[in-house]
């Protein structure tokens, strides 16, 4: 009877009504038992992990994260090519406050400005033509001198035509707005060159 009861637990629908039996037996009662149903495994015993190994694992995790951080920063430190640069967002937001009120110019002012532009164009053109004329004149003078030299003696002429190889590299410095003050001590100590270098 008890076997049935145990088996009934296996089935889905209850087949047997449970009856309360109190058995009296003279011999030792044989009670079979089936192990209880187990839908899952019993818990595994928790093994104690070596604390050193735990620490090693944590260390490795931390190092990995730091390495990634360093790699990101390295990327940020490199300079982007100019095509990839963008306007920083905080400037774009505050663009409005940087604008000036538009200037109203009177008609006379506008005309005066245009006339000034034209005068300047004329002045510049004259300057340019003068420059060209000067260059031509100097070149002509040299040409004439060389012709006369040729008439004088061919040898000298040939020597004069030869290019001067010791001329280049040649530097001249032009006039300054204010000449350097004599015995001037500049207030800064040293100059550290922070100019950026763009290679490639």
Partner 1 sequence: MQKKYKEFLLTVEFEKSMKSNHEIQHENDKKQAELFKAESQDVDIDAVNKVTAQDFEDAANEEYSKFKFGNLETDADKKGDKTSTERCLQRHLVLVTQRKLGNDSKTLLPQGHWQEGETLRQTAERIVKEQIGSELQIKFISNAPCGFYKYKYPSEMNGKVGAKIFFYYANYKSGNPTKSKVNWLTRKELDEMLPQKYSNAVKEFLIEETY
Residues constituting the chain: 200
Q: Which of 172, 188, 189, 198 binds partner 1 (CB under 8 A)?
A: 172
Q: How many CB atoms lie within 10 A of CB 116?
A: 10
- Which helix (H) or strand (E) is 4 found in, with range? helix 2-10
Report the nearest approach of partner 1 to the CB of residue 126 (Å).
9
160 binds partner 1 (CB under 8 A): yes
146 binds partner 1 (CB under 8 A): yes
Binding mask 95-114 for partner 1 (x = CB under 8 A): --xxxx--x---------x-
Report the nearest approach of partner 1 to the CB of residue 86 (Å).
18
Q: Which residues 6+ apart lie within 8 Å of 149 measured at CB?
A: 156, 157, 160
Q: Alpha carbon 176 to chain centroid distance?
A: 40
| Rounded-to-10 torsion of CA 41, 42, 47, 53 | 30
Question: For residues 130 and 138, is the Cβ–Cβ distance under 8 A?
Answer: no
92 binds partner 1 (CB under 8 A): no
51 binds partner 1 (CB under 8 A): no
Q: Closer CB to partner 1, residue 88 or residue 180? A: 180
The site for partner 1 (CB under 8 A) is made up of 97-100, 103, 113, 116, 119-120, 123, 127, 130, 134, 137-138, 140-142, 144-146, 148-149, 152, 156, 159-164, 167, 170, 172, 175-182
């Amino acid at each position: 009877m008890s076997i049935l009861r145990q088996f009934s637990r296996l089935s889905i629908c209850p087949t047997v009504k449970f009856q309360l039996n109190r058995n009296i037996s003279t011999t030792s009662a044989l009670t079979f038992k089936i192990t209880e149903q187990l839908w899952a495994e019993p818990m595994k015993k928790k093994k104690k992990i070596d604390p050193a190994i735990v620490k090693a694992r944590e260390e490795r995790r931390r190092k990995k994260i730091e390495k990634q951080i360093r790699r990101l920063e390295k990327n940020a430190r490199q300079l982007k090519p100019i095509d990839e640069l963008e306007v920083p967002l905080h400037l774009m937001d505050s663009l409005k406050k940087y604008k000036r009120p538009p200037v109203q110019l009177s008609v006379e002012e506008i005309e005066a400005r245009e006339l000034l532009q034209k005068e300047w164009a004329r002045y510049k053109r004259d300057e340019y033509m003068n420059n060209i004329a000067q260059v031509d004149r100097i070149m002509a003078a040299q040409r004439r001198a060389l012709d006369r030299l040729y008439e004088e003696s061919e040898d000298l002429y040939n020597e004069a035509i030869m290019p001067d190889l010791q001329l280049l590299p040649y530097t001249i410095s032009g006039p300054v707005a204010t000449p350097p003050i004599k015995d001037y001590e500049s207030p800064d100590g040293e100059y550290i060159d922070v100019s950026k270098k763009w290679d490639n």
